[in-house]
Amino acid sequence: MPYSRAGYLTLPLDILSGDPFPLHKAFAILSPTDDITQDWVTRGTGGKSPHGIPQIGPIYLVRFLDEGKGKIDVGFGAHPTYVSEELWKSRGALSIAAAGERDLIFTVELRRQTEEILKKKGEVWSIALYSGVAHGFAVRGYPERKEDKWAMNEAFWQAARFFGTWL
Tally of domains within the chain? 1
Helices of type H across the chain: 35-43, 58-64, 85-90, 108-121, 137-140, 146-166
In a domain, 79, yes or no: yes
CATH number of the domain bearing residue 83: 3.40.50.1820
- The model's pLDDT over 83-127, given as tens digits with 9 standing for 90+, comes to 777 777 776 656 778 899 999 988 999 899 989 988 988 888 889
What is the dihedral sign for C-alpha 40, 86, 94, 73? Answer: negative
In a domain, 93, yes or no: yes
Report field, pTM of the whole predicted structure over 0.75: no
pLDDT greater at residue 58 or residue 66: 66
What is the dihedral sign for C-alpha 13, 140, 145, 129? Answer: negative
Cα separation, 160 vs 167, whole angstroms? 10
In a domain, 28, yes or no: no
Q: Which domain holds residue 146?
A: 55-166
